[in-house]
Chains A and B, each alone.
Chain A
Protein backbone atom coordinates (compact mmCIF):
# COMPACT_ATOMS: atom_id res chain seq x y z
CA UNK A 1 0.00 0.00 0.00
CA UNK A 2 1.40 3.40 -0.95
CA UNK A 3 2.31 5.54 1.97
CA UNK A 4 1.83 9.12 2.85
CA UNK A 5 5.51 9.77 2.68
CA UNK A 6 5.25 10.92 -0.89
CA UNK A 7 3.72 14.11 0.43
CA UNK A 8 6.63 15.25 2.46
CA UNK A 9 9.27 13.76 0.28
CA UNK A 10 9.32 15.79 -2.91
CA UNK A 11 11.92 13.55 -4.43
CA UNK A 12 10.26 13.16 -7.77
CA UNK A 13 9.74 16.84 -8.14
CA UNK A 14 13.26 17.76 -7.08
CA UNK A 15 14.70 15.22 -9.48
CA UNK A 16 12.67 16.68 -12.31
CA UNK A 17 13.85 20.19 -11.49
CA UNK A 18 17.47 19.14 -11.43
CA UNK A 19 17.17 17.28 -14.71
CA UNK A 20 15.59 20.30 -16.33
CA UNK A 21 18.33 22.59 -15.05
CA UNK A 22 21.00 20.27 -16.38
CA UNK A 23 19.25 20.05 -19.74
CA UNK A 24 19.05 23.83 -19.80
CA UNK A 25 22.76 24.28 -19.11
CA UNK A 26 23.73 21.73 -21.72
CA UNK A 27 21.52 23.32 -24.35
CA UNK A 28 22.82 26.76 -23.39
CA UNK A 29 26.36 25.70 -24.21
CA UNK A 30 25.29 23.98 -27.41
CA UNK A 31 23.42 27.08 -28.46
CA UNK A 32 26.58 29.13 -28.14
CA UNK A 33 28.38 26.66 -30.32
CA UNK A 34 25.82 26.56 -33.13
CA UNK A 35 25.90 29.07 -35.90
CA UNK A 36 26.81 29.71 -39.49
CA UNK A 37 30.43 29.99 -38.70
CA UNK A 38 32.70 27.51 -36.98
CA UNK A 39 34.03 28.95 -33.79
CA UNK A 40 36.34 27.58 -31.24
CA UNK A 41 34.50 28.56 -28.12
CA UNK A 42 37.48 28.03 -25.90
CA UNK A 43 39.73 30.26 -27.91
CA UNK A 44 37.06 32.87 -28.13
CA UNK A 45 36.49 32.81 -24.41
CA UNK A 46 40.21 33.17 -23.86
CA UNK A 47 40.20 36.19 -26.09
CA UNK A 48 37.36 37.73 -24.21
CA UNK A 49 38.97 37.24 -20.87
CA UNK A 50 42.10 38.88 -22.21
CA UNK A 51 39.97 41.77 -23.32
CA UNK A 52 40.81 41.07 -26.92
CA UNK A 53 38.03 42.16 -29.15
CA UNK A 54 38.02 39.91 -32.16
CA UNK A 55 35.44 39.08 -34.77
CA UNK A 56 34.84 35.76 -33.07
CA UNK A 57 34.17 37.42 -29.76
CA UNK A 58 31.66 39.76 -31.40
CA UNK A 59 29.89 36.77 -32.90
CA UNK A 60 29.78 34.97 -29.57
CA UNK A 61 28.88 37.86 -27.31
CA UNK A 62 26.71 39.99 -29.57
CA UNK A 63 25.00 37.46 -31.80
CA UNK A 64 24.86 34.08 -30.13
CA UNK A 65 24.71 35.01 -26.47
CA UNK A 66 21.76 37.43 -26.66
CA UNK A 67 19.89 34.98 -28.86
CA UNK A 68 20.42 32.18 -26.36
CA UNK A 69 19.42 34.38 -23.43
CA UNK A 70 16.27 35.42 -25.23
CA UNK A 71 15.36 31.82 -25.93
CA UNK A 72 15.71 31.06 -22.24
CA UNK A 73 13.80 34.13 -21.04
CA UNK A 74 11.01 33.84 -23.55
CA UNK A 75 10.71 30.07 -23.29
CA UNK A 76 10.45 30.33 -19.52
CA UNK A 77 7.82 33.06 -19.78
CA UNK A 78 5.76 31.00 -22.18
CA UNK A 79 5.96 27.82 -20.12
CA UNK A 80 5.24 29.62 -16.88
CA UNK A 81 2.33 31.59 -18.32
CA UNK A 82 0.77 28.49 -19.75
CA UNK A 83 0.89 26.74 -16.41
CA UNK A 84 -0.39 29.79 -14.54
CA UNK A 85 -3.29 30.36 -16.91
CA UNK A 86 -4.27 26.72 -16.73
CA UNK A 87 -4.26 26.88 -12.95
CA UNK A 88 -6.33 30.05 -12.93
CA UNK A 89 -9.08 28.95 -15.31
CA UNK A 90 -8.76 25.30 -14.28
CA UNK A 91 -8.57 24.15 -17.85
CA UNK A 92 -5.61 22.37 -19.44
CA UNK A 93 -6.12 24.11 -22.77
CA UNK A 94 -5.38 27.63 -21.63
CA UNK A 95 -2.20 28.89 -23.23
CA UNK A 96 -1.08 32.35 -24.37
CA UNK A 97 -1.10 31.35 -28.06
CA UNK A 98 -4.38 29.50 -28.14
CA UNK A 99 -6.34 32.08 -26.22
CA UNK A 100 -5.12 34.91 -28.36
CA UNK A 101 -2.81 36.64 -25.90
CA UNK A 102 0.23 36.33 -28.16
CA UNK A 103 -1.57 37.68 -31.19
CA UNK A 104 -2.96 40.62 -29.23
CA UNK A 105 0.49 41.34 -27.87
CA UNK A 106 1.78 41.31 -31.43
CA UNK A 107 -0.88 43.84 -32.40
CA UNK A 108 0.17 46.15 -29.60
CA UNK A 109 3.83 45.83 -30.51
CA UNK A 110 3.20 46.38 -34.20
CA UNK A 111 1.28 49.57 -33.60
CA UNK A 112 4.10 50.91 -31.48
CA UNK A 113 6.95 49.77 -33.69
CA UNK A 114 5.85 50.69 -37.17
CA UNK A 115 4.53 54.09 -36.34
CA UNK A 116 7.70 55.44 -34.91
CA UNK A 117 6.89 55.25 -31.21
CA UNK A 118 9.65 52.79 -30.46
CA UNK A 119 12.32 54.95 -32.03
CA UNK A 120 11.34 57.82 -29.80
CA UNK A 121 11.02 55.76 -26.67
CA UNK A 122 12.46 52.22 -26.78
CA UNK A 123 10.51 50.88 -23.79
CA UNK A 124 7.35 51.64 -25.73
CA UNK A 125 7.89 48.43 -27.64
CA UNK A 126 7.46 45.97 -24.77
CA UNK A 127 4.80 48.23 -23.30
CA UNK A 128 2.79 47.96 -26.50
CA UNK A 129 3.01 44.20 -26.31
CA UNK A 130 2.02 44.23 -22.67
CA UNK A 131 -1.06 46.37 -23.22
CA UNK A 132 -2.17 44.12 -26.07
CA UNK A 133 -1.65 41.02 -23.94
CA UNK A 134 -3.46 42.53 -20.97
CA UNK A 135 -6.60 43.23 -22.98
CA UNK A 136 -6.74 39.64 -24.18
CA UNK A 137 -6.20 38.05 -20.78
CA UNK A 138 -8.78 40.25 -19.13
CA UNK A 139 -11.29 39.37 -21.78
CA UNK A 140 -10.53 35.70 -21.38
CA UNK A 141 -10.89 35.88 -17.63
CA UNK A 142 -14.22 37.70 -17.83
CA UNK A 143 -15.52 35.09 -20.23
CA UNK A 144 -14.50 32.02 -18.26
CA UNK A 145 -15.36 33.21 -14.78
CA UNK A 146 -18.59 31.33 -14.54
CA UNK A 147 -18.03 28.82 -17.27
CA UNK A 148 -14.68 27.19 -17.85
CA UNK A 149 -15.83 24.68 -20.39
CA UNK A 150 -13.39 23.69 -23.05
CA UNK A 151 -15.62 24.87 -25.82
CA UNK A 152 -15.97 28.40 -24.47
CA UNK A 153 -12.25 28.68 -24.07
CA UNK A 154 -11.38 27.51 -27.56
CA UNK A 155 -14.00 29.66 -29.19
CA UNK A 156 -12.93 32.72 -27.26
CA UNK A 157 -9.37 32.06 -28.26
CA UNK A 158 -10.28 31.72 -31.92
CA UNK A 159 -12.22 34.97 -31.82
CA UNK A 160 -9.48 36.96 -30.15
CA UNK A 161 -6.72 35.48 -32.31
CA UNK A 162 -8.53 36.11 -35.56
CA UNK A 163 -9.43 39.65 -34.69
CA UNK A 164 -5.92 40.54 -33.51
CA UNK A 165 -4.28 38.91 -36.51
CA UNK A 166 -6.53 40.82 -38.88
CA UNK A 167 -5.87 44.11 -37.12
CA UNK A 168 -2.14 43.39 -37.13
CA UNK A 169 -2.22 42.84 -40.89
CA UNK A 170 -4.16 46.07 -41.26
CA UNK A 171 -1.68 48.01 -39.15
CA UNK A 172 1.22 46.64 -41.15
CA UNK A 173 -0.40 47.60 -44.40
CA UNK A 174 -1.05 51.13 -43.18
CA UNK A 175 2.53 51.56 -42.06
CA UNK A 176 4.59 54.11 -43.98
CA UNK A 177 7.51 51.69 -44.32
CA UNK A 178 7.30 49.55 -47.47
CA UNK A 179 8.81 46.51 -45.75
CA UNK A 180 6.16 46.41 -43.05
CA UNK A 181 3.51 44.48 -44.94
CA UNK A 182 5.98 41.71 -45.61
CA UNK A 183 6.81 41.24 -41.99
CA UNK A 184 3.53 39.84 -40.79
CA UNK A 185 4.91 36.36 -40.81
CA UNK A 186 7.44 37.30 -38.19
CA UNK A 187 4.77 38.67 -35.87
CA UNK A 188 2.45 35.73 -36.23
CA UNK A 189 5.02 32.96 -36.25
CA UNK A 190 7.92 34.35 -34.26
CA UNK A 191 11.69 34.33 -34.66
CA UNK A 192 14.78 34.85 -32.57
CA UNK A 193 17.08 35.60 -35.48
CA UNK A 194 19.27 38.70 -35.47
CA UNK A 195 18.23 39.81 -32.02
CA UNK A 196 20.70 41.70 -29.89
CA UNK A 197 21.37 42.54 -26.27
CA UNK A 198 19.20 45.60 -26.64
CA UNK A 199 16.25 43.29 -26.85
CA UNK A 200 17.35 41.38 -23.78
CA UNK A 201 17.52 44.56 -21.71
CA UNK A 202 14.20 45.75 -23.10
CA UNK A 203 12.26 42.80 -21.82
CA UNK A 204 14.22 41.81 -18.74
CA UNK A 205 12.57 44.09 -16.13
CA UNK A 206 8.94 43.39 -17.02
CA UNK A 207 9.67 39.71 -17.53
CA UNK A 208 11.14 39.33 -14.07
CA UNK A 209 8.25 41.21 -12.48
CA UNK A 210 5.80 39.03 -14.39
CA UNK A 211 7.54 35.90 -13.19
CA UNK A 212 7.50 37.07 -9.62
CA UNK A 213 3.77 37.86 -9.78
CA UNK A 214 2.89 34.48 -11.18
CA UNK A 215 5.15 32.52 -8.87
CA UNK A 216 3.71 34.29 -5.83
CA UNK A 217 0.41 32.53 -6.45
CA UNK A 218 1.75 29.00 -6.50
CA UNK A 219 0.49 27.87 -3.13
CA UNK A 220 -2.94 29.35 -3.64
CA UNK A 221 -3.26 27.77 -7.07
CA UNK A 222 -3.18 24.28 -5.60
CA UNK A 223 -6.09 25.08 -3.33
CA UNK A 224 -8.05 26.61 -6.18
CA UNK A 225 -8.49 23.09 -7.57
CA UNK A 226 -11.19 22.53 -5.00
CA UNK A 227 -13.41 25.29 -6.30
CA UNK A 228 -13.82 28.97 -5.51
CA UNK A 229 -15.83 28.56 -2.29
CA UNK A 230 -13.58 25.98 -0.73
CA UNK A 231 -10.47 27.85 -1.78
CA UNK A 232 -11.75 31.05 -0.22
CA UNK A 233 -12.64 29.27 2.94
CA UNK A 234 -9.09 27.98 3.09
CA UNK A 235 -7.74 31.49 2.98
CA UNK A 236 -7.22 32.16 -0.71
CA UNK A 237 -7.95 35.69 -1.88
CA UNK A 238 -9.29 34.86 -5.26
CA UNK A 239 -9.40 38.35 -6.71
CA UNK A 240 -5.82 38.97 -5.72
CA UNK A 241 -4.74 35.69 -7.25
CA UNK A 242 -6.48 36.39 -10.51
CA UNK A 243 -5.08 39.88 -10.75
CA UNK A 244 -1.55 38.65 -10.17
CA UNK A 245 -1.78 35.98 -12.80
CA UNK A 246 -3.43 38.25 -15.35
CA UNK A 247 -0.83 40.92 -14.84
CA UNK A 248 2.03 38.44 -14.67
CA UNK A 249 1.06 36.81 -17.95
CA UNK A 250 0.61 40.15 -19.67
CA UNK A 251 3.96 41.49 -18.47
CA UNK A 252 6.02 38.47 -19.43
CA UNK A 253 4.28 37.30 -22.60
CA UNK A 254 3.58 40.82 -23.82
CA UNK A 255 7.23 41.79 -23.54
CA UNK A 256 8.39 38.50 -25.08
CA UNK A 257 6.15 38.82 -28.13
CA UNK A 258 7.25 42.39 -28.72
CA UNK A 259 10.78 41.21 -29.49
CA UNK A 260 10.25 37.75 -30.83
CA UNK A 261 6.83 37.73 -32.43
CA UNK A 262 4.19 35.23 -31.42
CA UNK A 263 5.59 31.81 -30.60
CA UNK A 264 2.83 29.38 -29.79
CA UNK A 265 2.17 26.08 -28.08
CA UNK A 266 5.11 26.10 -25.70
CA UNK A 267 2.78 26.97 -22.82
CA UNK A 268 0.49 24.13 -23.81
CA UNK A 269 2.91 21.27 -24.33
CA UNK A 270 5.29 21.83 -21.44
CA UNK A 271 2.82 21.98 -18.52
CA UNK A 272 0.91 19.05 -19.89
CA UNK A 273 3.97 16.84 -20.15
CA UNK A 274 5.26 17.79 -16.71
CA UNK A 275 1.97 17.70 -14.81
CA UNK A 276 2.11 14.03 -13.78
CA UNK A 277 5.56 14.54 -12.27
CA UNK A 278 4.30 17.13 -9.82
CA UNK A 279 1.27 15.19 -8.71
CA UNK A 280 -1.00 17.28 -10.91
CA UNK A 281 -0.72 20.15 -8.49
CA UNK A 282 -0.97 23.39 -10.48
CA UNK A 283 1.15 25.38 -8.06
CA UNK A 284 4.04 22.96 -8.11
CA UNK A 285 3.89 22.97 -11.88
CA UNK A 286 4.89 26.60 -12.22
CA UNK A 287 8.64 26.47 -11.72
CA UNK A 288 9.03 23.24 -13.68
CA UNK A 289 7.06 24.68 -16.56
CA UNK A 290 9.29 27.72 -16.65
CA UNK A 291 12.36 25.53 -16.86
CA UNK A 292 10.70 23.19 -19.33
CA UNK A 293 9.64 26.08 -21.52
CA UNK A 294 13.18 27.43 -21.60
CA UNK A 295 14.52 23.99 -22.52
CA UNK A 296 11.95 23.50 -25.26
CA UNK A 297 12.41 26.86 -26.89
CA UNK A 298 16.17 26.64 -26.73
CA UNK A 299 16.06 23.21 -28.37
CA UNK A 300 13.71 24.53 -31.05
CA UNK A 301 15.96 27.50 -31.71
CA UNK A 302 19.02 25.32 -32.05
CA UNK A 303 17.12 23.09 -34.47
CA UNK A 304 16.04 26.04 -36.55
CA UNK A 305 19.66 27.14 -36.89
CA UNK A 306 20.80 23.68 -37.88
CA UNK A 307 18.17 23.22 -40.58
CA UNK A 308 19.58 23.89 -44.00
CA UNK A 309 17.01 26.33 -45.34
CA UNK A 310 18.07 29.35 -47.32
CA UNK A 311 16.29 31.78 -45.09
CA UNK A 312 16.11 30.66 -41.49
CA UNK A 313 12.86 28.91 -40.62
CA UNK A 314 10.64 30.86 -38.26
CA UNK A 315 10.73 29.17 -34.87
CA UNK A 316 6.98 29.47 -34.46
CA UNK A 317 6.56 27.11 -37.39
CA UNK A 318 8.48 24.44 -35.53
CA UNK A 319 6.57 24.86 -32.28
CA UNK A 320 3.31 24.82 -34.21
CA UNK A 321 4.26 21.62 -36.01
CA UNK A 322 4.85 20.04 -32.63
CA UNK A 323 2.11 21.76 -30.71
CA UNK A 324 -0.91 21.67 -33.00
CA UNK A 325 -1.16 17.87 -33.21
CA UNK A 326 -0.53 17.80 -29.48
CA UNK A 327 -3.41 20.23 -28.97
CA UNK A 328 -5.69 18.01 -31.02
CA UNK A 329 -4.68 14.97 -29.03
CA UNK A 330 -5.40 16.83 -25.80
CA UNK A 331 -8.88 17.78 -26.90
CA UNK A 332 -9.73 14.24 -27.89
CA UNK A 333 -8.25 12.78 -24.73
CA UNK A 334 -9.87 15.32 -22.48
CA UNK A 335 -13.30 14.44 -23.65
CA UNK A 336 -12.78 11.15 -21.96
CA UNK A 337 -10.85 12.15 -18.87
CA UNK A 338 -11.66 15.58 -17.57
CA UNK A 339 -15.27 16.25 -18.29
CA UNK A 340 -16.08 19.78 -19.46
Chain B
Protein backbone atom coordinates (compact mmCIF):
# COMPACT_ATOMS: atom_id res chain seq x y z
CA UNK B 1 0.00 0.00 0.00
CA UNK B 2 1.34 3.43 -0.97
CA UNK B 3 2.16 5.89 1.81
CA UNK B 4 -0.94 7.97 2.62
CA UNK B 5 -0.63 11.72 2.14
CA UNK B 6 -0.28 13.96 5.16
CA UNK B 7 -3.08 16.43 5.99
CA UNK B 8 -1.10 19.42 4.70
CA UNK B 9 -0.25 17.63 1.46
CA UNK B 10 -3.93 16.85 0.98
CA UNK B 11 -4.82 20.50 1.59
CA UNK B 12 -2.32 21.61 -1.06
CA UNK B 13 -3.44 19.02 -3.62
CA UNK B 14 -7.11 19.90 -3.05
CA UNK B 15 -6.30 23.60 -3.46
CA UNK B 16 -4.67 22.82 -6.82
CA UNK B 17 -7.74 20.83 -7.81
CA UNK B 18 -10.17 23.57 -6.75
CA UNK B 19 -8.27 26.38 -8.45
CA UNK B 20 -8.02 24.56 -11.79
CA UNK B 21 -6.35 26.79 -14.37
CA UNK B 22 -5.59 29.45 -11.76
CA UNK B 23 -3.51 27.18 -9.51
CA UNK B 24 -0.25 29.11 -9.07
CA UNK B 25 1.84 29.58 -5.92
CA UNK B 26 0.19 32.58 -4.29
CA UNK B 27 -3.38 31.49 -5.13
CA UNK B 28 -2.68 28.00 -3.74
CA UNK B 29 -1.19 29.47 -0.57
CA UNK B 30 -4.26 31.70 -0.06
CA UNK B 31 -6.67 28.83 -0.72
CA UNK B 32 -4.87 26.56 1.76
CA UNK B 33 -4.97 29.29 4.43
CA UNK B 34 -8.70 29.84 3.90
CA UNK B 35 -9.48 26.11 4.09
CA UNK B 36 -7.26 25.41 7.11
CA UNK B 37 -8.31 28.69 8.77
CA UNK B 38 -4.80 29.65 9.86
CA UNK B 39 -1.78 31.68 8.75
CA UNK B 40 0.77 29.64 6.84
CA UNK B 41 4.21 30.77 5.68
CA UNK B 42 4.39 30.87 1.89
CA UNK B 43 7.60 28.85 2.10
CA UNK B 44 5.73 25.93 3.69
CA UNK B 45 3.32 25.73 0.75
CA UNK B 46 6.18 26.19 -1.70
CA UNK B 47 8.21 23.36 -0.11
CA UNK B 48 5.15 21.07 -0.23
CA UNK B 49 4.49 21.87 -3.90
CA UNK B 50 8.11 21.05 -4.74
CA UNK B 51 7.92 17.79 -2.79
CA UNK B 52 4.62 16.73 -4.41
CA UNK B 53 6.01 17.48 -7.84
CA UNK B 54 9.07 15.33 -7.10
CA UNK B 55 6.76 12.53 -5.99
CA UNK B 56 5.10 12.72 -9.40
CA UNK B 57 1.72 13.87 -8.04
CA UNK B 58 1.86 17.32 -9.68
CA UNK B 59 3.27 18.86 -12.81
CA UNK B 60 4.00 22.53 -13.36
CA UNK B 61 4.63 25.00 -16.11
CA UNK B 62 5.60 28.67 -16.19
CA UNK B 63 3.14 31.35 -17.23
CA UNK B 64 3.79 34.99 -18.11
CA UNK B 65 4.79 37.51 -15.44
CA UNK B 66 2.82 40.62 -14.53
CA UNK B 67 3.82 44.18 -13.70
CA UNK B 68 3.02 43.73 -10.00
CA UNK B 69 5.38 40.74 -9.95
CA UNK B 70 8.13 42.77 -11.65
CA UNK B 71 7.76 40.49 -14.64
CA UNK B 72 8.55 37.35 -12.66
CA UNK B 73 6.61 34.37 -14.06
CA UNK B 74 3.87 32.45 -12.29
CA UNK B 75 4.34 28.71 -11.91
CA UNK B 76 1.03 26.93 -12.54
CA UNK B 77 0.40 23.47 -11.07
CA UNK B 78 -1.78 20.64 -12.36
CA UNK B 79 -2.72 17.39 -10.66
CA UNK B 80 -1.27 14.27 -12.31
CA UNK B 81 -3.27 11.01 -12.43
CA UNK B 82 -1.05 9.79 -9.58
CA UNK B 83 -2.12 12.87 -7.60
CA UNK B 84 -5.81 12.02 -8.11
CA UNK B 85 -5.13 8.45 -7.00
CA UNK B 86 -3.23 9.64 -3.92
CA UNK B 87 -6.13 11.91 -2.91
CA UNK B 88 -8.63 9.08 -3.37
CA UNK B 89 -6.45 6.76 -1.30
CA UNK B 90 -6.23 9.38 1.47
CA UNK B 91 -10.00 9.81 1.52
CA UNK B 92 -10.57 6.05 1.53
CA UNK B 93 -8.15 5.67 4.46
CA UNK B 94 -10.08 8.26 6.50
CA UNK B 95 -13.47 6.79 5.54
CA UNK B 96 -12.24 3.34 6.63
CA UNK B 97 -11.18 4.71 10.01
CA UNK B 98 -14.62 6.30 10.56
CA UNK B 99 -16.76 3.44 9.21
CA UNK B 100 -19.46 2.35 11.67
CA UNK B 101 -18.77 5.21 14.04
CA UNK B 102 -20.97 8.28 14.54
CA UNK B 103 -20.09 11.40 16.50
CA UNK B 104 -23.03 13.59 17.57
CA UNK B 105 -22.88 16.93 15.75
CA UNK B 106 -22.87 18.96 18.97
CA UNK B 107 -21.06 16.47 21.18
CA UNK B 108 -22.49 14.51 24.09
CA UNK B 109 -24.20 16.42 26.86
Do A and B form a real pair?
no
